[in-house]
Chains A and B, each alone.
Chain A
Amino acid sequence: VKRRHLFAVLLAVTALVTASCSGDTASAPSTTADPLALVGIVRDDPLVVRDVVLPDVTENAAGVPFAFKARPGELLIGYFGYTSCPDVCPTTLAHLASATAELGGEADRVEVAMATVDPDRDTPERLTGYLRSFTDRGHALRTTDPAQLEEAEDAFGAQSQIVVDDNGTIDVQHSATTYVIDETGTVLVEWPFGVSAADMQHDLEILFDRENGSA
C-alpha cells in the first residue's frame, strides 16, 4: 500500500512538472476550439435520404412504408444493424440511449429507425423487442427484398454483407455508422462507430439549438 502511495505521489509530481513546462493548458477534449462545431462527420454535399422507404414492422405498424425523415421539429436517428450483433450494435445503441436521455425535454424529439441487415434471423418481433431495449421511440425497419435493402443502404453510403462459412457460422458485415436526419430527410451529421455518448449528446444539443434558433 505504501508503495502505491509513493507511486501516486510520483505521478502527481510528474504531472505537475509536465503541466508547468508545457505552455498551453491542455483544455481541448475531443471537440475543437469551436464549441458549436459538430463532432461527427459533416459532408460538404449532404446526403438526402427522404426518398428511402422501408417497411416499418414495429408492433402495430404492420409493414407500413417508413420514409427516412424526421417529424417536424424533431430529429431522426438512422442505423443499419442486426440483433445477433453482440458488440458493435449494442455499443452504439447504448451510447445513443444515454445521449438521448441526457437531453432532458428534447429527448422526446428524437426517434430511432433501425433497419435490419439480417432479415432472415431478425423477425419483426425480435427486431422490435431489441430496439425497445434502447428506446420507446423506435421504428423497426425490415425488408425481405435484398434489392430494396441495398437501395436503402446505397442512399446512405452504407453496405452490408452476410457470409455463411463451411461450419454454418453466419458472418455479418455492416456499416456501423449512425445518421442524424432532419425533417427534410437531410443527413445533418454522421457518427462512425466509436463516437462516445457525450459527443453524441453534444451534437444533438447543437442541432436542437440550431433548430430552436431558426424556428
Chain B
Amino acid sequence: VTGRRTALGMVMAVLVLAGTACGSDSNDETSSTTTEVGAITIGDPWCRTSPDMTDRGACYMTIENATDDTTALVSASVPSSVAGKVELHETTAADSSNDTTMSDDTTTGGMGTADTSMSGATTSDMTDSTAAGMMAMRPVSQIDVPAGETVALEPGGYHVMLLELVAPLQTGDAVQLTLTFEDGTTQTVSAEVRTS
C-alpha cells in the first residue's frame, strides 16, 4: 500500500511540475485533502450500511478532475475480505420521458398519468417523475470525468456496487476502495460506512 501511495505521490508531483513548467498558473498547494491542480481528487467517499440478508452494497463519492484531460473511472475494487465483486453502475429513471410508456407493455387499466399534481412547490427531485416512477440500474463500463469538472457518484445515480459482500457493512466500518482511472493510475481511499 505504501509503495502504491508513494508512486501515486510521484505521479502527482510530476503532474504538478509539468503544470508549472508550462507556465500556466503556479499553484503550489500540496495538501492532500483539498483540491490540487493537476490532480484527480476523491471527495467524501462513503458506503451505505447494508441491510440484513442482502449481499449487495453501494459506495459513493465525488471525483474532481483538475487536470486538463478528460479522464474516466474504469473500475473499482475492494479487499476480498469485504466483497467478492465490484461493478460500476448507474441508476436511471426507466420512464423519465413524460410519454405514456406505461401503456406499452402492461395492462395498467386506466391508470392515468395526468391526474397527479404536486401540492407543494415542485422540487428539483420530483420534476421528472412520472406516475409509475420506474427506476432501472445498469452496469456502466466507465464513468467519464471531463477536464475541470466534478462528477458525483450519489444515491439514485452513479455508484460503485459491491456484490457478494462477505459481511454486512456496518456503521463505523471503513472500506478501502481502490479506484482505477482510464490512464491506468489508481487511488485508494478509505470510504466511511454510514446510513446516508
Contact = CB atoms under 8 A, between A and B. Distances in A.
A157 B156 contact: no
Contacts of A88: 91, 135, 137, 155-156
Given A90-B48, A159-B134, A193-B156, A85 B56 contact: yes
Contacts of A49: none
Bin the interface of chain A by size: 35 or more
Contacts of A4: 34
B40 to A, nearest CB: 20
Per DSSP, chain B at the interface is loop
A3 interface: yes
Contacts of B111: 154, 157
Contacts of B56: 84-86
A18 interface: no
A25 interface: no
Given A44-B115, A98-B195, A173-B136, A130 B102 contact: no
Contacts of B120: 30-32, 34, 37-40
A37 B117 CA distance: 12
Given A88-B91, A157-B108, A98 B196 contact: yes
A197 B125 CA distance: 13
A43 B132 contact: no
Contact of A176 (B58, B135, B159): B135
A150 interface: yes
Contacts of B138: 171
Contacts of B91: 87-88
A134 B53 CA distance: 12
Given A87-B155, A175-B132, A150 B119 contact: no
Contacts of A51: none
Given A157-B132, A176-B135, A130 B51 contact: yes
Given A173-B136, A193-B133, A37 B119 contact: yes
B129 A133 contact: no
B107 interface: yes
B54 interface: yes
A100 interface: no
A41 B115 CA distance: 10
Contacts of B132: 157-159, 175, 177
B94 A195 contact: no
Interface of B: 29, 31, 34, 48-58, 89, 91, 94, 102, 105-109, 111, 115-121, 123, 125-126, 129, 131-139, 155-156, 159, 161-162, 195-196
11 contacts: A31-B120, A43-B117, A84-B55, A87-B161, A91-B155, A150-B106, A157-B111, A159-B108, A174-B135, A175-B135, A193-B129
Given A129-B53, A197-B196, 19 more contacts: A30-B125, A40-B120, A45-B115, A85-B137, A86-B50, A88-B137, A93-B51, A94-B196, A97-B195, A125-B53, A126-B54, A130-B54, A132-B52, A154-B107, A157-B102, A157-B111, A172-B137, A173-B136, A176-B134
